[in-house]
Structure 1
Amino acid sequence: MKTTKALITATTLAVALSACSSGGLFNRERPDEFAVQRKSPLVVPPDFSLQPPGQGEPRPAEGTLQEQTLDALFGGPSARSGIETNTLSMAGESAPGIRSSVGDVATNTVAKGSVTRDILAAPEGDGREARTQAGG
């Protein structure tokens, strides 16, 4: 019984060690990372069907990059729906410097309720006297 266990253990160790060698049954071909060559860049062939723009025609590359991107993604500007046009006409025009006046510290842009005002006006403390009430 002991000799059988010893023989199985020795065989298992021999097979495991043979897997660590670089030759024999477990040898495989690996790519050589230093043999990689640079390929020449792709070149777009000339398109001989292109014609220069005529007098007064818009140039194909006109417009900002953002406009070209939006056109490529969403298919260009589309006509507004009746609801959107009505909403925009009811909203009216904004003042040119509205962002500056809204960002001003002295401008109140949100009507705060009395609870919010009380919280903001409360004196700073350590919270020992803090109480809460659930329900109402």
Structure 2
Amino acid sequence: MRKAIALTLLLPALALGGCSIFKPKTASLDEFAVARNAPLVIPPDYSLTPPVAGTISSTAESAQAQAIEALFGGPAPRSATETSMLDAAGRDRVSLGIRSTAGDPDSRVVDKGQTTVTILQAPEGDTQTASAQ
């Protein structure tokens, strides 16, 4: 019986132990007192003017050119080997826009036959020999 009375009095005390009733009051921390804010400063560049309505701005194109220049560093000189290879391949005879017409469905192609189509569509195998069957 004494144990039951002691537990009845002790349990509420333990349950309320985490509450602030029994804790001593301490000063709360001020998160703004940790660091000082820097004073506001007016930027030194006063030469910028707002854009005039109705005018075309070339900043988007120049910004893109500047980004490409920053990423790739501009055109690099070609080596002698690359230049000779391009000359042998006939770079001076290439028509402009050839990449647009290469995948055109109306492009004339040479029919290599059904055997070539079968070989190109064959699944990959584990052996070193190719088979069209």
With structure 1 as the length reference, what TM-score do the two structures score? 0.41
With structure 2 as the length reference, what TM-score do the two structures score? 0.41
Of structures 1 and 2, the one with the larger relative CO (CA 8 A, separation 6+) is: 2
